Amino acid sequence: MEGNNHNSTSSAVISATSFALHLPEPDVQIVTSGGLRIPTHSSILAMASPVLENIIERPRKHRSSVRVIPILGVPSDAVSAFVGYLYSSRCTEEQMEKYGIHLLALSHVYSVPQLKQRCTRGVSQRLTIENVVDVLQLARLCDAPDLYLKCMKLVSANFKAVEQTEGWKFIQGHDPWLELEILQFMDEAESRKKRTRRLKEEQSLYLQLSEAMECLEHIYTEGCTNVGPYDVEPAKRMGPCNKYTTCQGVQLLIKHFALCKRRANGGGCSRCKRMWQLLRLHSSICDQLESCRVPLCRQFKLKAQQQKMCDAAKWKLLVRRVVSAKAMSSLSLPKRKREELRETMGCHVLKTFRFC
């Protein structure tokens, strides 16, 4: 008989407890699907489980007879382990390994919250691709939200493999609602991921622009490598610049802007447009009135005062984001991450941004 071993364990627990607590003779028999009869004490069962308490307190025809409570639908050894837990508040790792899902179901049905917690943890540590769909169904039936979420995450991270399992094939045929729930969860997880990625990309763009702004001032005030204001000696501007990762890129753009023929002809040179936008952005952020040395700073300021630009709201939003990007990043990222971000910026900074 498969139940013998564990039955004797639970009987040992029960008789040890009886001895310790001076319990009377067992007055309830629990009967399993496998035909196992486990002698138990109504007082212990009632204390451990309000559901069993209700069953015990139901009026009966013959007061004297031993009450029989069937616990069916799970292996006899799982019932043994369950009864053992009711007496001792303990179950072994081996029992958890073998009967974790049965014990979870029993702890839910008979309202034994500590055991339910233990099983939720135990079962979630033993999740596999093979059993995840079954456990998911059980978690839903037993109202175990932590376990449910863990299953959903495992399914959506390994969907290709899960699709091949018997469990998945079963719910496809028998539980279209659960199938729909899983697909919806995966869809939402995907769009959450996309949203986070997009936010990260935007934040890094604003950060790049914010650094490009500092870099513009640095070049036009101190000069760097071989670009700089006319009154600063080129000899003092020896490079390469290690102050800003964007410096090289900005310098190239400045040189291009000075020499580009298409700009002079009024053509649509994209690099010149970028430079133009950088200068305009600088002017929107710059608070030095007369002393600023960045080209066109005052002209842009005047123009902005004279005419309400058509895209004023959008532009202001951009300016605000660039200004706050640096503060945000230094608050939210650890130092190592900030440095990584700087690395990735490199000279690409001016190739990647778009306005409007």
Contact (CB, 8 A) for 78 and 4 = no
The DSSP secondary structure of 239-269, one letter per residue, reads S---S-TTHHHHHHHHHHHHH-HHHHTT---
55 makes contact with Zn ion (CB under 5 A): no
Q: Which is nearer to Zn ion, 15 or 225 (CB)?
A: 225
Contact (CB, 8 A) for 120 and 142 = no
Contact (CB, 8 A) for 116 and 41 = no
Q: Which is nearer to Zn ion, 38 or 247 (CB)?
A: 247
Per-state percent for the chain, helix, strand, coil, to nearest 5:
70, 5, 25
- Binding track over 267-306 against Zn ion, x by CB under 5 A: --x-xx-------------x-----x-x--x---------
Q: Which is nearer to Zn ion, 136 or 247 (CB)?
A: 247
319 makes contact with Zn ion (CB under 5 A): no
Neighbours of 160 (CB within 10 A): 7
Q: Smallest distance, Å, CB 305 to Zn ion?
A: 15
Find the part of the chain contacting Zn ion (CB under 5 A) among 30-38, 121-129, 169-177, 257-265.
257-265
Contact (CB, 8 A) for 205 and 353 = yes
Q: Smallest distance, Å, CB 155 to Zn ion?
A: 51
Residues whose CB is less than 8 angstroms from the CB of residue 196 and which lie 6 or more positions away in sequence, other chains included: none
Q: Smallest distance, Å, CB 308 to Zn ion?
A: 21
| Residue 89: both structure tokens together | 């508040």
247 makes contact with Zn ion (CB under 5 A): yes
List the one residue from 45, 205, 224, 279 that touches Zn ion (CB under 5 A).
Answer: 224
How far is C-alpha 119 from the chain's CA centre? 23
What radius of gyration, in Å, describes the C-alpha atoms of the chain? Answer: 36
Q: Which is nearer to Zn ion, 138 or 241 (CB)?
A: 241
154 makes contact with Zn ion (CB under 5 A): no
Q: Which is nearer to Zn ion, 11 or 225 (CB)?
A: 225
How far is C-alpha 266 from the chain's CA centre? 50
Rounded distance, CA 207 to CA 342, Å?
A: 9
List the one residue from 263, 284, 329, 345 that touches Zn ion (CB under 5 A).
Answer: 263
Find the part of the chain contacting Zn ion (CB under 5 A) among 206-214, 246-254, 326-334, 344-352.
246-254
Contact (CB, 8 A) for 186 and 159 = yes
13 makes contact with Zn ion (CB under 5 A): no
Q: Smallest distance, Å, CB 148 to Zn ion?
A: 55
56 makes contact with Zn ion (CB under 5 A): no
* Matching residue, tokens 């005419």: 307
List the one residue from 46, 123, 155, 241 that touches Zn ion (CB under 5 A).
Answer: 241
139 makes contact with Zn ion (CB under 5 A): no
112 makes contact with Zn ion (CB under 5 A): no
Q: Across-strand partners of 28?
A: 40, 67
Find the part of the chain contacting Zn ion (CB under 5 A) among 121-129, 227-235, 255-263, 314-322.
255-263
β pairing state of 67-71 and 28-32 = parallel
260 makes contact with Zn ion (CB under 5 A): yes
Q: Smallest distance, Å, CB 263 to Zn ion?
A: 5
The DSSP secondary structure of 213-244, one letter per residue, reads HHHHHHHHHT-BTTB--TTS-GGG--S---S-
DSSP-derived secondary structure letter, 307: S
Q: Which is nearer to Zn ion, 67 or 237 (CB)?
A: 237
Q: Smallest distance, Å, CB 320 to Zn ion?
A: 17
Question: Which residues of this protein are in contact with Zn ion, per CB under 5 A?
Answer: 224, 241, 243, 247, 260, 263, 269, 271-272, 286, 292, 294, 297
